[in-house]
Structure 1
């Protein structure tokens, strides 16, 4: 990350971005273009044009963002202390991974109490202060809503497992064994498997039944066929909406229902990383009843002003299934996470073109939602540069994926640290693994610790994340050169690349609200046109997904553009700032080119 980067742009854009990076504006300079600049996301928010169509969303993993009490674990006060940085980056909303009371088996996704704050992160007063401070900066707060399961330490589950006739027994999925072995051991009701390995059924010796857990043993699934569960979980949404949050990212929503007849899942060839037979989760994933509950969730958040949003985590197999998440009348989820695009873990231009075109023209006409990194995926820096050893080329690839994320029509979701080029720091020894997925699956599955290491703020101890001698995960080894403090004054840094792209997305009418048309000037290049409003220029984007120079030829007349590409707005290929842009051009390996087109 210390190599010299060629993040050049046109002279006009260079000066504009430098001024913006300094956080000040030359008097009168902005007034000349003010009539062409779309209103800020935080100012324009109507029912027909809600904020979440244009806003940039930033995921914060609270354990790893900022520690203020010296215990080596990030906290709510830490997030509050970094709101100015988040604002300067250009973020419109923060999605915070779970901060509820939890035994931390799955680091917060095993919730013991849905309507409280885990003391290791702070207090409810700290959270209320965070939302107030965020609101004062026009930053919205999105909570992580985990409806599929609770912790086995939840008061609900403790009651449920206490006896077969407890009033909350039916709040979870309980079943008798299929039978018993010759030596008296119970046999699970069917072959359903946990996402994290082995049987999804756990025997409870005290009540002589199995309970179902799609994830860890300590995460029993709620029974969403029980109206009392539905009511309780809808009240959870209301509780946090009343605290001032602006929506929810709904975790594992497609797993809410299971086949009540307990059919075995189909077995597929081979074994998974946990040594189990591969199965198709046919009877435990994406059942039709999921959509009934999404409509109920949507009704609840629609009771509140400000256009709150639902974001669904549902790794649907194709665009048709993804489109169902919007609802037949756009009455379910506004922003389904597009795992089809996110899981193309290679620079495959034809595949990206296909998927981008499909989601842009999805049957529901819903707003696309893209992400290339989160707390369950290797970092962008590593995932798309497998086999590439040159640090400069790795940086170009990371910048290219940032450009794809931030110049497409989709609502973009960033992951903390991607903007500075943080890398995946996977443990090399099993004794260092904290993630239970890695402990269970080692060495084939090493877990998710590598993408969850502390945010790198500066060159001080623990990268400025914590004053503790030991942090919950170790800081990545490159923090001395890859951090916010080092990159902020460097115009050519990854951080300032992200800042310029976010600002360009906000101020350019074509990127702010224009349609998106996929182009194919070259098989190795992902390219598209963002159509400008009437009388305004369009924006042409070209991303070279290959390690060789690629020639681009566009039929601008067929695209309704009489002048062609008239000005480079942003690029990391210096030759494109001065070359004639209306003729065929050559794009350097892994280079990004964003141009004005008329």
Structure 2
């Protein structure tokens, strides 16, 4: 539910059609070490001490946009099943699927009407069970999106709750009396709390003459997690899906589970937001201590099941200390908190990334880092780190560089569907074309999230092979004729094959699979780090030039405990570094990537 406040023009994106499929700015530059350091795949090694999620690659699927099989212009579960071989060939260990529960689709599935069913637009429960079984057969784990903060206002629970003040489920939601009334008799909300999507977070119900609280849309009333009956019902939801064979949950908007019982006003900050409201600090509606009590309860439930199921939390914590709390004092809460500090840098700043990587490597909880650079709420990776850059060759280099950071750091990586082929943000240019309510409400300052949710581009046929419908729920990006899986699969220098090689390297190289990570500083403009190999085995050095100029690197290999220095290039898009011998002084081309074996 988080939203990065960033939008880029789509005009420049349309100019990339001719270059994206080729992807690599510098063809033929990749290289492989002659020494294969074979490490166990994440799906082959899974113990309590060394669980699969420490090594696996997680791939987010937005089901509306992945693959349509029934011709209605909306992706479905059978579509996901039909693409499992592609996901396996990419090297993915687990898929996180955005909500597929019955929903009025006000927030495209994040407004859930029934937590233990499948929305007919996506298929049936039998379709889901078949998909989960087929994924398991390919050693692909399934992670569900768990949305505990709120339901749809069309949920049977809420319908009961709002029916009367005496209904048994009244206290399942947060109801409060008006603060007072205006001179003309209009009810005044209980306090100044604001919805994440604009305006008051309180909605008046004329039937029962009280307000209900909604941190997000009006149609998404917040559950009352202080009610034990709500806690039990939501824990049973976890058990229901674990019994169906899922392997964990991504917990949506978890930091918003609790609100101040005394309804203190949130502090007002200078200025106004995109919706015209005063800026406020969500002091009394976000990240309250009680959140951790519930995370421990959720963890207890999933730990009842075998296979080391995982919890991933969506909580945009303001610093590493707050993020570390999500692991739990005894590592008994979330195994993988999503790191929004790293994800929201939104610019190529080697010093800032260096600082954040050091912080997360030394987090107080000693927890496993979890990185992502794109999801259904953020502009595409392709655009976010190349603002102001028009040259498509340079944009492709930057996209490859960020993919390298994602897949060669020690953090568990989360990919977003289509990033592996270089899909771009395709933001609507007219308000009448916007589907996302956030964009409808905030236009023109906030154009919504449609741009990062366009259909997956499989081939150059009509609608990119996503659907046979006359009209798809969102239009396919115009560059699909050259930017698609089919075209890139056969091109060794494509973005897709860059991702495949990185994932394979992560899986098979012992240093990248499980080695420690030390952040280096050979040059202020270069982000660099060392992944330590096992005793007697090579380590891996990664260098990413975050600048538009060549940068010279001089590593003190002896100080790093290395005797030979760089002995082979494992992957690069700088041809000058693809061949031995490699000298102590290295010059890295603008926005280029270098992954080397060092000893």
TM-score calculated relative to the size of structure 2: 0.96
Superposed structure 1 runs of 4+ greater than 4 Å apart: 9-13
Structure 2 counterpart SS, 1:595: strand
Q: How does 1:31-110 map to 2 (within 5 A)?
A: 33=36, 36-110=37-111
Matched residues in 1 for 2:582 and 2:386: separation?
Answer: 29
Matched residues in 2 for 1:574 and 1:305: separation?
Answer: 47
Q: How does 1:154-173 map to 2 (within 5 A)?
A: 154-173=155-174
Matched residues in 1 for 2:31 and 2:323: separation?
Answer: 42
Matched residues in 1 for 2:528 and 2:188: separation?
Answer: 55
1:25 corresponds to: none
Q: CA deviation at 1:40?
A: 1.4
Structure 1 counterpart SS, 2:559: coil
Preserved contact between residue 104 and residue 110 of structure 1 (Cα < 8 Å): yes
1:302 corresponds to: 303
Q: How does 1:303-342 map to 2 (within 5 A)?
A: 303-342=304-343
User: Per-residue CA shift, 1:377-414, capped at 9, x if unaligned?
Assistant: 00011110001110000000000000000000000000
Q: Cα 1:11–1:229, aligned 2, differ >3 Å: closer, same or farther?
A: closer
1:541 corresponds to: 542
Matched residues in 2 for 1:296 and 1:583: separation?
Answer: 53
Structure 2 counterpart SS, 1:412: strand
Structure 2 counterpart SS, 1:594: strand
Matched residues in 1 for 2:361 and 2:414: separation?
Answer: 17
Structure 2 counterpart SS, 1:260: coil
Q: CA deviation at 1:577?
A: 1.5
2:456 corresponds to: 455
TM-score calculated relative to the size of structure 1: 0.96
Structure 2 counterpart SS, 1:500: helix
Q: CA deviation at 1:39?
A: 1.1
Preserved contact between residue 204 and residue 210 of structure 1 (Cα < 8 Å): yes
Matched residues in 2 for 1:288 and 1:523: separation?
Answer: 39
1:476 corresponds to: 477
Q: CA deviation at 1:582?
A: 3.3
User: Per-residue CA shift, 1:235-274, capped at 9, x if unaligned?
Assistant: 0000000000000000000000000000000000000000
Gaps of 5+ in 1: 17-31
Q: Cα 1:432–1:11, aligned 2, differ >3 Å: closer, same or farther?
A: closer
1:370 corresponds to: 371
Q: CA deviation at 1:225?
A: 0.1
Preserved contact between residue 31 and residue 570 of structure 2 (Cα < 8 Å): no
Q: Does 1:402 align with 2:387?
A: no
Give the number of aligned pairs: 579
Q: CA RMSD in A?
A: 1.0
Q: CA deviation at 1:506?
A: 0.2
Preserved contact between residue 455 and residue 475 of structure 2 (Cα < 8 Å): yes
Structure 1 counterpart SS, 2:383: helix
1:19 corresponds to: none
Matched residues in 1 for 2:108 and 2:443: separation?
Answer: 18
Q: CA deviation at 1:12?
A: 4.3
Q: CA deviation at 1:102?
A: 0.0
Matched residues in 2 for 1:366 and 1:55: separation?
Answer: 16
Q: CA deviation at 1:9?
A: 4.6
Q: Does 1:236 align with 2:237?
A: yes
User: Per-residue CA shift, 1:264-312, capped at 9, x if unaligned?
Assistant: 0000000000000000000000000000000000000000000000000
Q: How does 1:579-590 map to 2 (within 5 A)?
A: 580-590=581-591
Q: Cα 1:356–1:308, aligned 2, differ >3 Å: closer, same or farther?
A: same
1:119 corresponds to: 120
Matched residues in 2 for 1:356 and 1:350: separation?
Answer: 10
Structure 1 counterpart SS, 2:474: coil
Q: CA deviation at 1:10?
A: 6.0
1:22 corresponds to: none
Q: CA deviation at 1:583?
A: 1.6
Matched residues in 1 for 2:205 and 2:32: separation?
Answer: 68
Matched residues in 2 for 1:9 and 1:271: separation?
Answer: 49
